[in-house]
Structure 1
Amino acid sequence: ANYPNPFNPTTSIRFNMGETANAELAVFNMAGQKVATLVNGLVGAGSHEVTFDASNLSSGVYFYTLNSGSIVETRKMILTK
């Protein structure tokens, strides 16, 4: 989950890993273009939090996707300026 949502210009994204694994946390725009990669590599088990700074992006709806092998989760967030 991310908070705050809607956000301007930063939001914190929290996620949990059941085990240590390679993971990618990426942000996409409505057109499906990747606009940021926040995590890409080995992530330990447990709870994690990363900050997404969207000050260089336009207002609108974005999606963040956590991909860790067999698990893919996508959530929506809204940037309001």
Structure 2
Amino acid sequence: MDFDGSFKFSEAVEIEINVPIKFSLKQNYPNPFNPSTTIKFSIPIAEFVALKIYDVLGSEVATLVNEEKPAGFYEVKFDASNLVSGFYFYRLQTGSFVETKKMMLVK
């Protein structure tokens, strides 16, 4: 409504918001890999995020992300040049979500 009491309708405006609707940790690619791979994940709300790599004994070998992140889609490169061939696990942890996946380094 305008100040004079009349109505004017404007055309609809479409807004696209590209925010994930749920937490997700994707399988790394390529897998197996040598020496680097990509890990994708998404978070629907701003949270503290930790993405860490572990060997088969459960020892942490790398921290890829360890900070507050806004909601969104993320892609992280992991360079394993300094590691030996074998299976590794990557774990995404936030305040309300935890998921772990397996990957294989072949040199």
Measured against the shorter chain, the TM-score band is over 0.9
Q: CA RMSD in A?
A: 0.5
Stretches of structure 1 that go unaligned for 5 or more consecutive residues are: none
Which has the bigger relative contact order, CA under 8 A and spacing at least 6?
1
* Counterpart in the other structure of 1:71: 97
* Counterpart in the other structure of 1:14: 40
Q: When the two structures are superposed, what TM-score results if normalisation uses the length of structure 1?
A: 0.98
Q: How far, CA to CA, are the matches of 1:43 and 1:64 in structure 2? A: 18
How many residues of Structure 1 are paired with residues of Structure 2 in the alignment? Answer: 81
TM-superposed CA distance for 1:69, in Å, is: 1.1
Alignment equivalent of 2:87, drawn from 61, 64, 67: 61
Identity %: 54
Q: When the two structures are superposed, what TM-score results if normalisation uses the length of structure 2?
A: 0.74
TM-superposed CA distance for 1:7, in Å, is: 0.2
More strand by share: 1
